[in-house]
């Protein structure tokens, strides 16, 4: 299909008639004439050669020459309107977000207080199941993975290769990064990783932990300031089934706190315009990832492009050809 990028440019075709109608003739040493400054050179072209027409046809030849020049002008107007040959619309399969999963793999993630299909699961396995489904639901996004315990490690850089991220996640064991929990260092590494991946796409961090920041070089107040300055949205997930009930030496049941620092996680999410979620079982954890998926919809689902080819050179070439032919005929007349 052929379209015009600037269709209003075709209105320039009536300019010669406007000039002819509203420009007053002037008198000079060569008689009456119309003042048409930008056509001075073209106006000198005069196809009056005796080899083509007899002198009795001078007026008709002049009129014919004017109309040929007007045709050339129309082709120039068409070139300015930029005709384009466009193809069928093609859907863009690009990414919409850079998403970084920052996952706690300290030894406390071995706590078997989750269940799935009637079987007891440790927290890390439940996280793997939920994160697996989330990653597969984001076909147009780039995903990265940071694992942390005592230290934080970028295990999978932000990439389109979802399968590589999943394989890395499933190969992870609790305690591989140390026994304690350095939330501050993990978030700091995540912010640095997202910042280094450019500024043209929305960036999201999903932080999951079951503890508190009890190790590392960055404190939570420092992390809060960094997160605010980077303007990166952070969703935080606290993993815990509640206080553990243990038997004391005298047989008395005592509720032991889990150590989850919900206040810090809530503050971090609020500071970055994200949200805090509490996961107490496998189903709840999967629902949290589903909720985040809804909060950050795919950006490319309605974007299309059309391949186009510029055609303005063809009418421009025709206009130039006409003017050159008239110029050659004029030269032959006076040769």
- Report the pLDDT value the prediction gives residue 231, as an integer from 0 to 100: 82
Each residue's pLDDT tens digit, 161-193: 999 999 999 999 999 998 889 999 999 999 999
- Region 139-158: mean pLDDT is 91
**CATH topology for 98-295?**
Rossmann fold (3.40.50)
Q: What is the mean pLDDT of residues 193-209?
A: 85
Closest of 312, 315, 316 to residue 4, by C-alpha: 312
Please report, for the chain, the start and end positions of each structural domain, with discontinuous segments joined by +: 2-87+306-334, 98-295
Cα gap 159→213, rounded to integer Å? 28
DSSP string, 69-133: HHHHHHHHHHHHT-EEEEEEEEE------EEEEEEE-SGGGG---EEETTEEE-HHHHHHHHHHH
Token pair listed for 300: 């490319």
Check whether 267 has a pLDDT greater than 60: yes
CA distance 141 to 162: 9
Could you tell me if 166 and 134 are in contact, meaning their C-beta atoms sit under 8 angstroms apart? no
pTM of the complete model: 0.60
Write phi, then psi, for 317 (nearest 5 degrees). -65, -40
Q: What is the mean pLDDT of residues 244-252?
A: 48
The pLDDT score that the predictor gives to residue 138 is 86
Query: Which residue matches tokens 């991946």?
Result: 197
Sort strands 276-279 and 253-256 into parallel, antiparallel or unpaired. Answer: unpaired
Q: Give the mean model confidence (pLDDT) for residues 27-39.
A: 50
Query: Hunting for tokens 């206009």 — which residue is that?
Result: 319
Percent of the chain with pLDDT over 70: 77
The mean-pLDDT minimum among 15-29, 248-262, 320-334 falls in: 248-262
């Amino acid at each position: 299909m052929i379209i015009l990028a600037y269709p209003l440019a075709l209105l320039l075709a009536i300019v010669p008639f406007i000039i002819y109608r509203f420009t007053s003739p002037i008198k000079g040493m060569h008689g009456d004439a119309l003042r048409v400054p930008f056509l001075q050179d073209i106006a000198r072209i005069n196809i009056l050669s005796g080899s083509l027409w007899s002198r009795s046809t001078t007026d008709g030849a002049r009129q014919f020459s004017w109309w040929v020049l007007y045709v050339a002008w129309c082709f120039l107007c068409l070139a300015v309107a930029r005709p384009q040959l466009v193809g069928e619309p093609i859907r863009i399969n690009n990414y919409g977000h850079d998403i970084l999963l920052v996952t706690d793999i300290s030894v406390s993630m071995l706590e078997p207080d989750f269940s799935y299909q009637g079987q007891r699961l440790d927290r890390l396995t439940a996280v793997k199941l939920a994160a697996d489904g989330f990653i597969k639901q984001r076909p147009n996004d780039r995903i990265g993975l940071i694992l942390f315990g005592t230290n934080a490690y970028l295990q999978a850089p932000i990439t389109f290769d979802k399968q590589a991220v999943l394989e890395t996640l499933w190969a992870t064991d609790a305690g591989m990064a140390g026994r304690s929990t350095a939330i501050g260092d993990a978030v700091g590494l995540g912010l640095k990783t997202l910042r280094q991946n450019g500024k043209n796409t929305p960036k999201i961090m999903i932080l999951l932990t079951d503890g508190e920041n009890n190790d590392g070089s960055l404190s939570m107040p420092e992390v809060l300031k960094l997160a605010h300055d980077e303007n990166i949205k952070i969703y935080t997930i606290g993993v815990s089934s509640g206080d553990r009930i243990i038997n004391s030496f005298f047989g008395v049941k005592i509720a032991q706190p889990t150590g989850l620092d919900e206040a810090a996680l809530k503050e971090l999410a609020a500071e970055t315009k994200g949200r805090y979620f509490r996961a107490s079982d496998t189903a709840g954890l999967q629902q949290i990832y589903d909720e985040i998926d809804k909060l950050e919809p795919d950006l490319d689902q309605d974007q299309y492009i059309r391949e186009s080819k510029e055609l303005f050179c063809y009418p421009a070439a025709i206009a130039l050809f006409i003017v050159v032919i008239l110029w050659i005929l004029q030269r032959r007349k006076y040769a």
